[in-house]
Amino acid sequence: QQQVKQSPQSLIVQKGGISIINCAYENTAFDYFPWYQQFPGKGPALLIAIRPDVSEKKEGRFTISFNKSAKQFSLHIMDSQPGDSATYFCAASHSGTYKYIFGTGTRLKVLA
């Protein structure tokens, strides 16, 4: 079954700390791995995405680390800020499909 397992379910981090959210997948055909950020009362929005031909992608304070052999990828938020408090979803898809498979989400709270 095509699943994406996400952990932890919730995370509390001090301001300035590093937030780490992990995802694991089973389907080796997946070749696109986006992360979405959702604020309360809003729809999710694309944060950053990676393809398996690279092991890391960085955009500002947000970094995706990708381990193809372990079928895992993670989101690192450096210097976490209270404004980063949101729910984060990892997702996966593969070429030729119209469908994204989402993880179950991680609720991040950054304490001021």
Query: What is the contact surface with another protein in residues (CB under 8 A)?
Result: 6, 9, 31-32, 34, 36, 41-46, 49, 89, 93-100, 102-105
Measured CA to CA, the distance from residue 63 to residue 17 in angstroms comes to 14
Q: Which is nearer to another protein, 71 or 94 (CB)?
A: 94
Q: Which is nearer to another protein, 15 or 68 (CB)?
A: 68
Least spacing, CB of residue 54 vs another protein, in Å: 16
Query: Cα(first)–Cα(last) distance of the chain, in Å?
Result: 40
For residues 44-62, one letter each, b for 16 or more C-beta atoms within 10 angstroms of the residue's C-beta and e for the rest, the string is: beebbebeeeeeebeeeeb
Q: Which is nearer to another protein, 19 or 93 (CB)?
A: 93
> Contact, 50 vs 66, CB < 8 A?
yes
Amino acid at 87: T
Least spacing, CB of residue 15 vs another protein, in Å: 26
Least spacing, CB of residue 43 vs another protein, in Å: 3
